[in-house]
Amino acid sequence: MATASPPLASGRKAKDIISAARESLAKMIGGQPQDIIFTSGGTESNNLVIHSVLRHFHKAHASEGDTAERRLLEEGATPHFVTCTVEHDSIRLPLEHLVEEQVAAVTFVPVSKVNGQAEADDILAAIRPATCLVTIMLANNETGVIMPIPELGQRIAALNQQRVASGLPRVLLHTDAAQALGKRRVDVRDLGVDFLTIVGHKLYGPRIGALYVRGLGERTPLYPMLFGGGQERGFRPGTENTPMIAGLGKAAELVTENCEAYEAHMRAVRDYLEARLVAEFNRKIHFNSQFPGTERLPNTCNFSIRGPQLQGRLVLARCRTLLASVGAACHSDQGDRPSPVLLSCGIPADVARNALRLSVGRSTTRAEVDLVVQDLKQAVARLEGQA
């Protein structure tokens, strides 16, 4: 396979494929192609944002001029990040590492137990003079709850006008949109974000990712974590994975064309699933992500079947058809420990321990839902029969 760099016909073709994919991703999120950088996945994209903002804090504060920024550095101010308690580990763990290394301070804003959201008022209240980044996911991967990113974008933009006037640095805004893309329309202009993380396999693409950076290198800083051949304009060097990038571009194209249809189908099937669960299990069912007045993703159903011997892991082990997880699918090996995300949302520990997260897809049918509910019913009967 040709790389996109050599001036050969095959190289030019690879370069054209990558350019077309970049345009498809930009169109999907309402951005500009030059603001898209390809990465290996969501974890790299999220780490790249945190790394870049930390570098920029020190670089900006070391510049000449008697500004409030420079005085922050002279006074020993530590770069400060704001996030929330239900973020993916690829945000939480890098930030916790910076705290352990004593190179940054982090505020983890609790989500509301009323609506499951990280509320804009609480996030704004956590911002300090040395705050350099607010990073809040667009939709939670376990509950499907949509976070108030458009409101945050507007309010942080207004705050930044005041900060710049007083010589303080702008607060940058990042959202990890991994879970939301392909399930609802996402537009960076509406969100008002500086960074947005894209993950291919969450939208039926290959396991590769991308990062949107508003005004890349001009308005918004990005500093490479790797150094090498200069690919991706030096922001993310390494030989381009052209086939995977092409696949991601095609997945984005399909989302742009069909997002509303995908969303309507998933919502209808998910709602049917929840109605069937209530019909079969009645009061034993507790829905862990239904918060009054809060929007959630159309595909996600997080629920518990109440009972002392009905822990989610045990129920799944006795299912013969259903494939699901008890929490985040990428690290669902936590045994019977209740999900920290659900606990943060105010779900009681005994209920959270029984949680199952089901996701419907673009092709999931009502007939398949019926099979799954019957499978769950039989699994529960087996467990209760052992008691």
Taking alpha carbons only, the member of 212, 225, 221 closest to residue 63 is 221
Catalytic residue among 301, 319, 330, 345: 330
CA–CA separation, 222 vs 132, rounded Å?
Answer: 13
DSSP letter at 220 equals B
Name the strand (E) or helix (H) holding 96.
helix 89-100
- Token readout for 72 is 């922050």
Q: Which residues contact 230 (CB under 8 A, 6 or more apart)?
A: 237
Taking alpha carbons only, the member of 52, 107, 299, 44 closest to residue 184 is 299
Phi, psi torsion values for 145, nearest 5 degrees: -65, 135
Question: Which residue in this structure is represented by tokens 């990005």?
Answer: 222
Per DSSP, the three-state class of 212 is strand
Taking alpha carbons only, the member of 154, 135, 153 closest to residue 85 is 135
State the sign of the Cα–Cα–Cα–Cα dihedral 222, 225, 231, 234: positive
Name the strand (E) or helix (H) holding 272.
helix 242-281
CA–CA separation, 54 vs 320, rounded Å?
Answer: 48
Of the CA atoms within 13 Å of residue 362, those in its CB half-sphere come to 14
| Catalytic residue check, 330 | yes
Active site residues: 330
